[in-house]
């Protein structure tokens, strides 16, 4: 075997990527897609995530450890969400890292936020962090913040808001007493010093990846200089559309598709409005949620209710998508080249709605204004608007010709953290002289 081949082999054996995320499908799927690409290149990868993602990770050859239960409702309080899902993941994450650093020459942490236990454990074991920004909402700006604060920043008292109120909002989140106290409990247990802010891990972040294209949301002037844009990681579906969906489309035509997201159990009102919209427009609907009414208690003859279908499959034959505004769902509608209506509830959803409106690819309806009538009016306007249809066609073309984002991210990670020469020397140093701590 040649020297180059040996170095590459040593590099792959010596470097292991650990992806850590606690959330719903929109949080986990992009990381699984990237990890799968790394695995195809010969790099061992492991995913720490909520229980439901084990099957998908395993199918892609990605190792998996469940660190939290399924996050079925992400619209409750900070205390409930963090207490139920995030903080129970800390000890499981610690046990994994305690084992992992003993069996891998170099571990690279890939996570999505400052809340993950993997940040403190990267500090404990002196590991590099790559921060994957799944959505623009997670990238802070003091001059052009995300929605809903964007409206205040651009209002008549915008400069006052930017100078005084916005920094206080950021500081409040970074020093949230409940979260900070629980984090420090674990840090003391692991032999780490207490921290006064949740941004303690920022200085350890060696690489930042924007998992969305630059055209989706133009960078703010004060976004990090080392932020690399790679596009939406949208792996091709390996499933097939269920026959009942194909029959429904063949019988009734291109449907309106409605989904409230995977972390929302209270969906009846949403689908009641959807039913009214379909009736007003005399169009078929596909209602996606395991929490929707079933059978005779369903939503009328125009609607087909399904617990789950890969959005890529159903949107390929859809006329329009109505949803909550999660980034993964938003990206799939852009990929399909169809208009979308976003009715946001929380987190990044209002900002994604703003991005879609700026692209001319859809509309936003605030949840308080959501009704069958408002949906029907917006859907009718979008479907009859040539500028909207041109905008979604352009988005579809951009995604189709933009290359494989997951593959591009995988190449970026491999190049940054596992170049053959470094891997060779690191592997030899560890073998000859014990553990080597590199600050990459």
At 300, the pLDDT band (50, 70, 90 cuts) reads confident
Q: What is the pLDDT of residue 430?
A: 37
Q: What is the pLDDT of residues 343-398, one digit of tens each?
A: 999 889 999 999 999 999 999 999 999 999 999 999 999 999 999 999 999 999 99
Report all structural domains of the chain as residue ranges with CATH numbers, in order of start: 3-231+403-433 (3.40.50.2000), 243-401 (3.40.50.2000)
Q: What is the pLDDT of residues 127-171, one digit of tens each?
A: 999 999 999 999 999 999 999 999 899 999 999 999 999 999 999
Q: What is the pLDDT of residue 105?
A: 78
> Which range among 196-205, 217-226, 295-304, 407-416 shows the weakest confidence by mean pLDDT?
295-304
**Model confidence, pTM:** 0.88
pLDDT at position 265 over 80: no
* HEC assignment per residue over 220-260: CCCCCCCEEECCCCCCCCCCCCCHHHHHHHHHHCCCEEEEC
Q: What is the pLDDT of residues 7-51, one digit of tens each?
A: 444 555 578 999 999 988 889 999 999 999 999 999 999 999 999
Q: What is the pLDDT of residues 413-437, one digit of tens each?
A: 999 998 664 434 443 333 333 333 3
Q: What is the pLDDT of residues 230-246, one digit of tens each?
A: 999 998 888 888 999 99
Chain-centroid distance, C-alpha 121? 22
Q: What is the pLDDT of residues 111-122, one digit of tens each?
A: 999 999 999 999
Sign of torsion over alpha carbons 279, 284, 289, 295: positive
């Amino acid at each position: 075997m040649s020297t180059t081949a040996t170095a590459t082999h040593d590099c792959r054996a010596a470097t292991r990527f650990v992806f850590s995320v606690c959330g719903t499908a929109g949080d986990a799927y992009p990381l699984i897609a990237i990890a799968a690409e790394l695995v195809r290149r010969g790099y061992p990868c492991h995913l720490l995530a909520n229980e439901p993602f084990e099957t998908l990770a395993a199918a892609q050859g990605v190792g998996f450890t469940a660190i939290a239960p399924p996050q079925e409702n992400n619209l409750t309080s900070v205390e409930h969400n963090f207490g139920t899902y995030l903080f129970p993941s800390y000890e499981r994450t610690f046990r994994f890292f305690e084992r992992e650093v003993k069996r891998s020459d170099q571990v690279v942490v890939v996570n999505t936020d400052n809340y993950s236990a993997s940040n403190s454990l990267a500090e404990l074991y002196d590991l590099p962090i790559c921060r994957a920004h799944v959505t623009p909402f997670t990238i802070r700006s003091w001059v052009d913040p995300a929605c809903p604060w964007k409206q205040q920043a651009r209002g008549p008292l915008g400069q006052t808001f930017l100078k005084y109120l916005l920094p206080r909002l950021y500081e409040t989140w970074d020093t949230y007493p409940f979260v900070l106290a629980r984090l420090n409990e674990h840090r003391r247990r692991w032999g780490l010093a207490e921290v006064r802010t949740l941004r303690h891990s920022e200085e350890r972040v060696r690489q930042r990846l924007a998992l969305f294209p630059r055209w989706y949301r133009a960078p703010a002037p004060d976004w990090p200089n080392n932020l690399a844009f790679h596009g939406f990681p949208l792996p091709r579906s390996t499933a097939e559309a269920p026959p009942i969906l194909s029959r429904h489309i063949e019988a009734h035509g291109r449907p309106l598709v409605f989904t409230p997201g995977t972390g929302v159990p209270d969906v009846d009102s949403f689908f009641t409005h959807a039913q009214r919209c379909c009736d007003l427009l005399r169009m078929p609907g596909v209602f996606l949620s395991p929490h929707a009414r079933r059978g005779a208690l369903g939503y009328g003859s125009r609607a087909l209710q399904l617990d789950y279908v890969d959005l890529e499959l159903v949107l390929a034959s859809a006329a329009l998508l109505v949803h909550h505004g999660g980034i993964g769902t938003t990206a799939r509608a852009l990929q399909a080249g169809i208009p979308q209506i976003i009715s946001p509830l929380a987190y990044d959803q209002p900002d994604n709605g703003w991005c879609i409106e700026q692209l001319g690819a859809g509309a936003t309806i605030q949840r308080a204004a959501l009704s069958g009538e408002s949906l029907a009016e917006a859907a009718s306007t979008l479907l009859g608007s040539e500028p909207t249809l041109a905008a979604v066609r352009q988005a579809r073309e951009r995604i189709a010709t933009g290359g494989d984002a997951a593959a591009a991210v995988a190449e970026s990670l491999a190049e940054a953290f596992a170049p053959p020469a470094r891997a060779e020397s690191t592997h030899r140093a560890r073998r000859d002289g014990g553990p080597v701590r590199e600050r990459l």
